[in-house]
Structure 1
């Protein structure tokens, strides 16, 4: 009758489905990674707030008043309001001269939270690695 041919067992793994799954996961991670990393980096204190040490450099203080005007304690015009672009240029220039200068944000208590966040984003774009928040002591 008919003679059956014996087939040898195939010992190969088909990796095509694994490659397809890997490529789909790669695309998902590439799309979601930028969405996860949005925001302003702020180093939150791990304990109660402490004042800057006496031997540290004097900080650069970027301020926003109740009217939303920006100020910086660097240069001759510390009491005159400046635009956001001028503030960013001045901060970047100061950080080029002294890169380890601490930067502190001083916001009026009546300023909307959005104004303070916009100032922090502005400082981040100017190259400030970390920003501190200035507060008054609660004890009076």
Structure 2
């Protein structure tokens, strides 16, 4: 058996490039929203700051409610918000509601947020081009 003087790095580099491509592809899917919500349009939409810890509540066109991507109901939403109650006054809450969703679901979420003293509420819209 012949002894190698050097290690062949080309197969290793090939494998690493394939792994890099897989990671980048998966990361692009993760960064996109998982809950399809057709946001209403607004001419006065502003860019939200992104470095703070936020809570996201979404309501899709089928009136299904999600708390940070997990399905919830109006009854279980206060339980999900409870761990954040200590900093409720300063924690931003982003509300994404599909324009086809029933308005009563929007109101029920706002009622829960008011009861929990979550005052920094942002309603996400799409800016009119």
TM range (shorter): 0.5 to 0.7
Instruction: Give TM-score scaled by structure 1 length.
Output: 0.52
Equivalent pair of 1:92/1:127 in contact (CA under 8 Å): no
Bigger proportion of residues as strand: 2
Q: Do structure 1's residue 129 and structure 2's residue 129 form an aligned pair? A: no
- How many residues are paired up? 87
Tell me if 1:112 matches 2:102.
yes
User: Residue 95 of structure 1: SS of its match in structure 2?
Assistant: helix
Q: Which runs of 5+ in 2 are unaligned?
A: 1-42
1:112: how far off?
1.9
TM-score by length of 2: 0.56
Q: Which has the higher contact order (CA 8 A, sep 6+)?
A: 2
What is the Cα deviation at residue 111 of structure 1?
A: 0.7
Query: How far did 1:69 drift?
Result: 1.6
Closer/same/farther in 2, CA of residues 97 and 132 from structure 1, 3 Å limit: closer
Residue of structure 1 aligned with 2:45, choices 35, 45, 49:
49
- Kept in 2, the 8 Å contact 1:65–1:111? The answer is yes
SS of the residue aligned with 1:62? strand
Deviation for aligned residue 1:110: 0.3
Q: Where do 5+ consecutive residues of structure 1 fail to align?
A: 1-46
> Residue in 2 aligned with 1:12?
none
Give the alignment's Cα RMSD to 1 decimal: 2.3
- Larger of the two Rg values belongs to structure: 1
Aligned partner of 1:62 in structure 2 is 57
Measured in 1, the distance between the counterparts of 2:117 and 2:48 equals 21
Q: Which runs of structure 2 are paired with 1:18-97 in the superposition (5 Å)?
A: 48-54=44-50, 56-73=51-68, 78=69, 80-96=70-86
Paired residues of 2:45 and 2:127 also in contact (CA < 8 A): no
8 Å CA contact 2:58, 2:97 repeated in 1:
yes
